[in-house]
Amino acid sequence: MKEKKKGFWSEAIRVTKENDPAARTALEVLLTYPGVKALAAHRISHFLWRHNLKLLARMHSQFWRFWTQIEIHPGAEIAHGVFIDHGSGLVIGETAIVESDVKLYHGVTLGGTGKDKGKRHPTIRQGALISAHSQLLGPIEVGMNAKVGASAVVVTDVPAEVTVVGIPAKVVRVKGKKDLERITNLEEQREASYHSSHL
Ligand SMILES: CC(C)(COP(=O)(O)OP(=O)(O)OC[C@H]1O[C@@H](n2cnc3c(N)ncnc32)[C@H](O)[C@@H]1OP(=O)(O)O)[C@@H](O)C(=O)NCCC(=O)NCCS
């Protein structure tokens, strides 16, 4: 049987309650979480963008940037069930893709390097954690359930189920374990892929 697609509001309430022990009721989530407001507004600006009302879409998203301090370009593709905590200073670029159950904190940038054309912003796969003030730049992919540490700068793909920290961000855990052999292998692969894509 086909699984029923969950609605935006029920998913917003679910992820907020799951991720923030301070969230007590659905009403509190709907009224007091800037991330929920920004994501709801983005659905409208994305609709306008897709229907070629691009200036109106940009104006709508800028209006909500003023109220929430969260800037999401109307072109970005964001699934239901994304959780934004605090949110101030969060910037999501035009060609970014964010899948469900991703957690984004304040000060995060899903931005471009200024050197790429077309798809030039990150893709964040299901369940990834993007910690406060981390900067993810370029058309990179962060794999399922990966964790990006606070204030990391990420310019290369991040495999699924790993933790990366630092500047530039390096793998420090694989599925929560300090498995040095796997970490070294993954880092060699990441370095090779970075150099081949920057020839
Ligand atoms: C990265 C993070 C998600 C933890 O992931 P984890 O897989 O549990 O990793 P660990 O805590 O085991 O840390 C792994 C290593 O990275 C280091 N580390 C953790 N976070 C780091 C960071 N932000 N920058 C640099 N190093 C960091 C740890 O000291 C540890 O070092 P070691 O290998 O020398 O022991 C977490 O540390 C983090 O940054 N959380 C921030 C979440 C956030 O934004 N909160 C804001 C709420 S308002």
CA separation, residue 126 to residues 19, 30, 35, 51, 58 (Å): 15, 23, 18, 27, 27
Per-residue pLDDT at 4: 62
Residue 138 lies in a domain: yes
Residue 1 lies in a domain: no
- Alpha-helix residue ranges (DSSP H) falling in the chain: 8-19, 26-32, 34-50, 54-68, 180-197
* Domain containing residue 22: CATH number: 2.160.10.10
Quick one: average pLDDT of 21-41? 96
Residue 3 lies in a domain: no
How many structural domains is the chain composed of?
A: 1
Domain assignment of residue 82, given as a range: 8-197
CA of 131 to the centre of ligand 1 (A): 9
Predicted TM-score (pTM) of this structure: 0.95
The answer, yes or no, to whether any atom of ligand 1 lies below 6 A from the CB of 176, is: yes
Residue with CA at minimum distance from ligand 1 atom 15: 172
Per-residue pLDDT at 122: 98
**Element housing 179 (H / E):** none
Quick one: average pLDDT of 107-127? 95
Quick one: average pLDDT of 27-56? 97
CA of 165 to the centre of ligand 1 (A): 7
Give the whole-angstrom CA distance, residue 146 versus residue 157: 11
Mutational pocket test of ligand 1: of 172, 174, 186, the residue with most ligand atoms within 8 Å of the beta carbon: 172
Cβ–Cβ < 8 Å for 81, 11: yes
**Residue 156 contacts by C-beta under 8 Å, 6 or more apart in sequence?**
140, 168, 169, 190, 191, 193, 194
